[in-house]
Structure 1
Amino acid sequence: MDYQAGVSGVVDIVPETREEEEDVSSSRSRGWVNGLRRRWRQLLMIAVAIILLPYVLILLYMPSFVHPISTLMLRDLVFLRGYDRQWVSFDEISPNLVQSVMMSEDGQFCIHDGIDWVQMRGVVTDALEGESTRGASTIPMQTAKNLFLWNGRSFIRKGMELPLALAADFFWSKRRMMELYLNVAEWGPGIYGAEAAAQHHFGVSAAKLSRRQAALLAVSLPNPIDRNAGKPGRGLRRLASLIERRAGRSGEYIKCLYE
């Protein structure tokens, strides 16, 4: 009887120990899964915050006393390179530069809503047909890229750029948009904004830029590292002459900025 009871006691203990081990293992598994879910939720929240941050900044950048920096300026600070940017208001920038930049970069600036849909459809059509695509970036798109995104050609960046351009054009006036663009645009290594560019390349203030100087700055914008407005080659001078003529006839195109 005592032996059987002892055996019975042993038999009774073994299943209970296995159940406890299984419970511990299951608990650990659930804990790992819950921890992974928490991490994924945290990562998702961080990703959503990063995506929404530029839209919050668009609202914060509306007042004229706010002088934001671009992502390229931020990069230069991170790598301890430094940069030259002297903020100037829209009224302190020569109309010659405003006209030249519009005629070179975005002739429909005053009438589109941030995106030139006609040009964009042409680019999409060319891409679908396998042809080389031409540029269709508007000033709002370039401003959004400069302030919130990165350089380089990618569908991801372009996909983020389009809604940002629409939002920026909705909340910012055309004058504010142009003011921001001309104060963050890159005009050479470490040279940002119209004032620094005018002084670096021509030794004058942004307010004193001549038609020729303004045209040279405008045509250097697509590639300011290789295109030196202060030391233009023959091709750059030829493009500047074309933009200078267009700027001289741009009265109807810039009414949204000077009415």
Structure 2
Amino acid sequence: MSKAAPAAPPAPARRSRWLRVPFKILVWFVILSLLFVGLYRFVPPPVTLTMILDGNGITKDWMSLDDIDPDMARAAIAAEDSKFCSHHGFDAVAIAQAMRRNASGGRIRGGSTISQQVAKNVFLFQGGGFVRKGFEAWFTVLIEAFWGKRRIMEVYLNVAETGIGTYGVNAGAMRYFGHDASRLTRADAARIAAILPLPKKRAAKAPTGFTRRYGHSIAARIGVVQRDGLDACIR
């Protein structure tokens, strides 16, 4: 006499079992996020996905913010994020302006702050659309809460791409000027900042055209950043 097949679990139990899987994934994601953010508060990120996927090798040389010439951080603020010291990771005005420009057509431009760029460069990858933007927002909130502005700027200046296969302003300074980032002139710092949006297509040494004009503009704004205390949070 054959035994009867066991009864299937009721529908609510099946739904509960399936809900536990994404819940566990979410919990582990939060835990790992907090662990890595906490670790990188004190330890330099050894490598990023952008570096690994570059295909041009990796040249980098970490330098502390205390040793990098102060004009380099001022140049980054002048070029990339003038409200760096006053926002909490997001610049609503810049995001709205970028959305309006992009809606009108032409070259797509973002409204990312330095904090958002660090979140993307350290923990995520280039591209990815709105899904990546969601993760980027999560990590931006975390680094703003746990790192503070000085650490965010320090990591930014050390992981930002500054040339083909070159990462960080110290490696960039060696590549273009033959000396480290502690000896940057204001013009040097402005030129490195000018190439950050397109480091594979622009060069900081003997720049021409738009890159040269943009560098001059940034050099002029470095003085404004210093005069108006726009770098006060990292001094």
TM-score of the superposition, structure 1-length normalised?
Answer: 0.77
Matched, 1:62 2:41: yes
2:80 & 2:91 partners in 1: Cα distance? Answer: 12
Residue identity in the other structure for 2:178 = G
The 1:46–1:245 alpha-carbon spacing in structure 2 relative to 1, beyond 3 Å, is same
C-alpha deviation, 1:52, in angstroms: 4.8
C-alpha deviation, 1:195, in angstroms: 1.1
Q: Between 113-122 and 191-200, report the one with greater CA deviation.
A: 113-122
Aligned to 1:254: 231
Aligned to 1:49: 28
2:215 & 2:99 partners in 1: Cα distance? Answer: 28
Kindly, what percent of the aligned residue pairs are identical?
Answer: 36
Aligned to 2:91: 116
1:225 & 1:62 partners in 2: Cα distance? Answer: 29
**For 1:1-259, what aligned pairs fall within 5 Å after superposition?**
16-17=1-2, 20=3, 23-24=4-5, 45-46=24-25, 48-50=27-29, 52-63=31-42, 66-68=43-45, 69-75=47-53, 82-124=57-99, 130-132=103-105, 134-152=109-127, 154-251=129-226, 252=228, 253-258=230-235
Question: What are the Cα deviations for residues 69-117 of structure 1, in whole angstroms up to 9, with x where unaligned?
Answer: 32223445xx7x6411111110111112111111000000010001112
1:126 & 1:98 partners in 2: Cα distance? Answer: 27
**Relative to total residues, which structure has the larger helix share, 1 or 2?**
1
Residue identity in the other structure for 2:33 = P
**Residue 232 of structure 1: SS of its match in structure 2?**
coil
1:156 & 1:122 partners in 2: Cα distance? Answer: 21
C-alpha deviation, 1:124, in angstroms: 4.3
Query: Between Structure 1 and Structure 2, whose CA radius of gyration is higher?
Result: 1
Where in structure 1 do 4 or more consecutive aligned residues deviate above 4 Å? Answer: 37-44, 124-127
Gaps of 5+ in 2: none
CA contact (8 A) 1:104 1:218 kept: yes
Gaps of 5+ in 1: 1-15
1:55 & 1:118 partners in 2: Cα distance? Answer: 29
Q: CA RMSD in A?
A: 2.7
**Residue 198 of structure 1: SS of its match in structure 2?**
helix
CA contact (8 A) 1:55 1:164 kept: no
